[in-house]
Amino acid sequence: MRVTEIETYNAKRSGQKAGTANVLIVDGDSGSVRLILEILARKGICANLANDKKTAVEFLDKNDCDLVFTSADIDRPDDGFELLRAIKRNSPELPVIMLWSPATEWKQPRSTQGSPRKNISSELSVPALSAVEGVSVAKLVETVVRAMSAGCSEFLIKPASREQIQMLLDTFVPSHSVWTAASAQQASHCLYQIVGRSPKLVQTIALAERIAPTSAPVLISGESGTGKELISLLIHQKSKRALGPYIKVNCAALSDSLLESELFGHEKGAFTGAYAQRKGRFEMANGGTILLDEITETPLRFQAKLLRVLEEQEFERVGGNENVRVNVRVISTTNKDLPEEVRHDRLRRDLYYRLSGVRLEISPLRERPEDLPELVWHFVNLYASQANRRITSLDPAMIDIFTKYDWPGNVRQLRNVVLTSLILGIGPVLSLADVSWLFDELQPLPLAGLTMDEGRLTPFRSGKAGPAGPDGMDADRLSCLVPRPSYRGLGGIPLEQVERRAILDTLRQTAGNQARAAKVLGISDRTLRDKIRRYRQSAPGLTAEHAEPFRSGRAGPAGPDGNAERKTPSQTTDFTDSTDLLSSSVNPCKSVSKKSSATSVVSAAK
């Protein structure tokens, strides 16, 4: 199959990821090309054909590509190696698979004459190749070494088998089906892809598509990493300004002195270093859309000038007197609580009303558990080739951990977690088992024996006493000391419970060091000691007998050896449970004696 220009074959499937992976095939062998095209079509992957090195390089300069198949000899010897070196200079991480055909015709070993022809690269070892007439083993080894040294990802001997090509595609260009809520593509470049199927995400996208055809300013709020920029790009692409420019400005990354010049431009000589007139971002976005990312990070003085631009659609460049008129739609994003920012005079009230002509709020990932599997597979499609892993399934335990985790970094954090798991893990199943520190980091906080009773947090009571905890206190009673909610968020939790949890978690982080914990919490040592003492005294079910071991200088309940356990001074203490923090942190210079520690070890061994 010979072509004079790039030919594109695209076979999308319903539910397939938008911006389907692009594969470039540079080969004049019609048999190999036909086989690869057939496999790509079944997988819904876009195939692009080029017949020479020059056409292939021009295509790669203008388009995104995920995988390249190239022949070692395209038009003349070593063309494939020159193309490989050119690709690696510009795109070092782009995987390239080289197909090689011997100069002489392959013949079967005499001992196998009449038997069906097999793929030599997969069935014969190098010693076995010496038995094939007309084949130079030295030439084969030299070609393989040259290809691998130049950065080739895989080397196949023609004719390649269907199984080989499918395995390589699953590794370098995984095409797991994901649920795409919205997407847009320009030529072979994916402009945006919003993955998920949760009702909250679908509702947000539906609202964005409804307001897109208008010119009303839009204010998008949501936590960091939820995809505010993607929604902004969706609004622009669905609007009547889609053919106009789309300009992004990160307000948080610009200093106060540069912000005005960056947005409104400046005249020649306006300040030191202004050697020529420069157009600002508003002027560059004329006829299109401008995105003001993190709008709440702008200073109040600048907000007054921005308000005038929004109202009148005109401004003056820095150092100039001429009014510049523009026609720009403004989309703003923020991760802050806007009413709170207005209340504390960090955002002008009139600017807030002007920006929020239409307001969209993106729900955090913890409120969209239905999107987790889809997003994980989406990131596997994107990054599996970097780890050179073929992922066939997801570990159910990992998905369960993801569902229970709060995801403070939202989708951005999930992306990094999946990428780390891909790089550090092994095998076809994606899991956290091979990344122990990541597994521990994503563990949800224990409930510590608390249940919900008519909207209130109440201590869990079982019919019989649980296993003995420190100082002879059973686990059920100890759990009462550390109230932790079984639901996400802080809404509805008494402030005292929030304060108690913050203190206990800080004590855990500081290994029970009260001085350090007080400094982190921003309170005095005495205040911290008083609070711990009050928590200990008011703990549900904590009788005088159980309170004895927490009091300095007194013996506690009898240990397994029948002797009372006492505390002895020590500089640091390792805590394995938050209940130990509360009891032992009343005096941080306490730890279990050597005798009781040895007894505990013997008991555990039994």
pLDDT in tens, 443-487: 765 444 444 343 333 443 334 444 444 344 343 433 334 444 444
**Residue 534 neighbours by CB distance under 10 Å:** 12
Q: Residue 436: which pLDDT band, with cuts at 50, 70 and 90?
A: confident
Rounded-to-integer distance, Cα 225 and Cα 406, Å: 13
CATH code linked to domain 7-172:
3.40.50.2300
Q: Residue 510: which pLDDT band, with cuts at 50, 70 and 90?
A: confident
* Residue 444: per-residue pLDDT: 63
Instruction: Give counts: helices (H), strands (E), the chain.
Output: 25, 23
Q: What are phi and psi of 448, to 5 degrees?
A: 55, 40
* The pLDDT of residue 177 is above 90: no
Q: Residue 135: which pLDDT band, with cuts at 50, 70 and 90?
A: low
Which one-letter amino acid corresponds to residue 220? Answer: I
What is the rounded average pLDDT of the residues 75-100? 86
Q: Residue 520: which pLDDT band, with cuts at 50, 70 and 90?
A: confident
* The pLDDT of residue 116 is above 60: no
CA 508 centroid distance within chain: 28
What is the percentage of the chain residues whose pLDDT exceeds 90? 30
Q: How many residues does the chain have?
A: 606
* The pLDDT of residue 568 is above 60: no
Q: CATH number of 199-362: 1.10.580.10, 2.50.20.10, 3.10.20.30, 3.40.50.300?
A: 3.40.50.300
* Residue 418: per-residue pLDDT: 94
Rounded-to-integer distance, Cα 102 and Cα 139, Å: 9
* Residue 530: per-residue pLDDT: 84
The lowest-confidence range among 147-156, 495-504, 546-555 is: 546-555
* The pLDDT of residue 379 is above 90: yes
**What is the location of CATH 1.10.8.60 in the chain?**
369-441
Structure tokens that stand for 405 in this block? 């985790």
* Residue 456: per-residue pLDDT: 38
Higher pLDDT, 434 or 425: 425
Across the chain, mean pLDDT equals 76
Which CATH fold would you assign to the domain 369-441? Helicase, Ruva Protein; domain 3 (1.10.8)
**CB 154, CB 100: distance < 8 Å:** no
What distances in angstroms separate CA 35 from CA 1, 47, 313, one per listed residue? 11, 12, 58
* Residue 387: per-residue pLDDT: 85
Q: Residue 73: CA atoms inside 13 Å, Cβ hemisphere, count?
A: 9
Q: Residue 130: which pLDDT band, with cuts at 50, 70 and 90?
A: very low
* The pLDDT of residue 165 is above 60: yes
* The pLDDT of residue 3 is above 80: no
**CB 306, CB 298: distance < 8 Å:** yes
* Residue 567: per-residue pLDDT: 40
What is the rounded average pLDDT of the residues 581-605? 42
Q: Residue 410: which pLDDT band, with cuts at 50, 70 and 90?
A: very high
* Residue 459: per-residue pLDDT: 40
* The pLDDT of residue 578 is above 50: no
* The pLDDT of residue 589 is above 80: no
What is the rounded average pLDDT of the residues 169-178? 88
* Residue 539: per-residue pLDDT: 59
Q: Residue 277: which pLDDT band, with cuts at 50, 70 and 90?
A: confident
**What is the location of CATH 3.40.50.2300 in the chain?**
7-172
* Residue 181: per-residue pLDDT: 92
* Residue 541: per-residue pLDDT: 45
Rounded-to-integer distance, Cα 407 and Cα 442, Å: 9
Rounded-to-integer distance, Cα 344 and Cα 340, Å: 6
Q: Residue 490: which pLDDT band, with cuts at 50, 70 and 90?
A: low
Rounded-to-integer distance, Cα 444 and Cα 431, Å: 17
**What is the location of CATH 3.40.50.300 in the chain?**
199-362
* Residue 120: per-residue pLDDT: 37
* Residue 545: per-residue pLDDT: 40
* Residue 500: per-residue pLDDT: 84
Q: Which residues contact 49 (CB under 8 A, 6 or more apart)?
A: 1, 3, 6, 7, 8, 9, 24, 25, 26, 33
Q: Is the pTM of this model over 0.75?
A: no
* Residue 224: per-residue pLDDT: 93
* Residue 367: per-residue pLDDT: 94
* The pLDDT of residue 342 is above 50: yes
Q: What are phi and psi of 298, to 5 degrees?
A: -80, 150
The top-scoring range by mean pLDDT among 57-61, 126-130, 225-229 is 225-229
What is the rounded average pLDDT of the residues 395-405? 91
Tell me which residue has tokens 């889609």: 242
* The pLDDT of residue 554 is above 70: no
